[in-house]
Amino acid sequence: MVSTMQTSIMNVETKYFHLKHDLLLESGEKLSPVTLAYETYGTLNDEKSNAILVLHALTGDAHAAGYHHDEDSTGWWDLMIGPGKAFDTDKFFVICSNVIGGCKGSTGPSSVNPKTGQPYGLDFPIVSIKDMVNAQSHLIKGLGINKLVCVAGGSMGGMQVLQWVASYPEMLKSAIPIATAAKHSPQQIAFDEVGRQAIMADPNWSDGHYYLKSPPTRGLAVARMIGHITYMSDISMAEKFGRNVKPEKRKQKFSPDYEVEGYLQYRGDNFVKRFDANSYLYITKALDNFDLGNGGSLEKVFKQAPNVRFLVIAFKSDWLYPAYQSKEIVRACKQAHLDVSYYEINSTYGHDAFLLEAAEQEHFIGNFLKRFYDE
């Protein structure tokens, strides 16, 4: 069920954190300068002990909750972050930062390469989920926080959660990976690859050097359309669209006839206004390359984090990140004797459920976080 009673935070602002040093990447390359766009909600207590880091998915950004002063739409996880919500800003100080490689204020392929004075394009180095998390750790330390109550996120956000556990277990009390995986299956890689191919097939892509010209909007729109199909479920599409025909008069052969076609085209066309095609390439590649166990056992990774408590959430109709992938995480936690709870929420929304199923997530997450507030 989607929660309808909402109070959202007003006048949220995006801030910018500049790393003091180069960021050494997994590839061996150094990235500099590095900026992270981030937002915070609620108040950091004097002990700096009430902070929660939430982590965004592929096309998300730092704007997780509330309203910017000049906008009338809320952040991407506003259903979950705010006063009295799952991540209760009356109790917790919630932080969200845009990933490196992105295009929403953090350093990415559309940023200016200091060596050339031009946007990086494909000269931007390959980044990994681990690199994203390393950059975030500087932000957290920069805010004077030594220990987070929790890291939480869905989809790619969940991968960052898992990487935080692997990289900085001493900085965490708990972790909430939602609708995610410790590594991509070949089917997940395949969907990402087709999206990348759609972008690179667009002649406007120009090997990534399109910033002073027309961007590859048609290719990027196709990539987004593929993504949207995988974010929904067969059932949710049937409920939302059925075989309803678009009311507009047909203008030409192969223009959208069905509502579902019009919806995909609308989502694709909107997406290209707010997202950079090269960022789509870099971030999907980071997703595909992510392998928390590094070809070995997850149990070993989690054994290095004996004090991190886990809440793992999956959704029944999510076929992009199927529940079996969450169960693999839970199994490894148990093998490593970690404190882990698992919920499989009976949603029809597919992968999008992590953004939409507020009521049940609020219940499970609220209860899970309670003990850290009472501690």
Distance CA 172, CA 33 (A): 27
Cα 94 from chain centroid (whole Å): 15
Q: C-beta of 340: minimal distance to its own copies in Å?
A: 24
Say which DSSP state 290 is in. -
Span 58-97, contacts to its own copies by CB under 8 A = none
Q: C-beta of 256: minimal distance to its own copies in Å?
A: 7
Catalytic (active site) residue 318: yes
What's the CA dihedral at 161, 163, 164, 169 to 10 degrees?
120
Mark the segment that binds its own copies (CB under 8 A) among 48-56, 88-96, 136-144, 227-235: 227-235
User: 3-state class of 295 per DSSP?
Assistant: coil
If binding is defined by CB under 8 A, does position 226 make contact with its own copies? yes
Cα 132 from chain centroid (whole Å): 11
Residue number, 96 or 264, with CB nearest to its own copies:
264
DSSP 22-72: -EE-TTS-EE-S-EEEEEEES---TTS--EEEEE--TT--S--SSBBTT-S
318, 326, 347, 352: the catalytic one is 318
Mark the segment that binds its own copies (CB under 8 A) among 165-173, 259-267, 339-347, 360-368: 259-267
Q: C-beta of 258: minimal distance to its own copies in Å?
A: 5
What binding mask, one character per residue, do residues 282-301 give for its own copies by CB under 8 A, x or -? ---x--xx-x----------
Write the CB contacts of 55 (distance below 8 Å, at least 6 apart in sequence): 96, 99, 136, 151, 152, 153, 156, 157, 158, 160, 161, 164
If binding is defined by CB under 8 A, does position 319 make contact with its own copies? yes
Mark the segment that binds its own copies (CB under 8 A) among 71-79, 86-94, 162-170, 253-261: 253-261
Neighbours of 242 (CB within 10 A): 11
Q: Taking a C-beta distance cutoff of 8 angstroms, is the pair 60, 83 a contact?
A: no
Catalytic (active site) residue 167: no
155, 279, 317, 347: the catalytic one is 155
Mark the segment that binds its own copies (CB under 8 A) among 48-56, 84-92, 131-139, 250-258: 250-258
Span 320-339, contacts to its own copies by CB under 8 A = 322
The tokens of 78 are what? Answer: 């506003």
If binding is defined by CB under 8 A, does position 202 make contact with its own copies? yes
Name the strands in the sheet holding 35-41, side by side, starting at the edge strand that comes first in the sequence.
15-18, 35-41, 93-97, 51-55, 150-154, 174-178, 309-315, 340-345
Span 4-63, contacts to its own copies by CB under 8 A = none
Q: Which positions touch its own copies (CB under 8 A)?
A: 122, 126, 183-187, 189-191, 193-194, 196-198, 200-203, 208, 218-219, 221-222, 225-226, 228-229, 232-234, 237-238, 240-243, 253-254, 256-261, 264-265, 268, 281, 285, 288-289, 291, 319, 322
**Residues with a known catalytic role:** 155, 318, 351
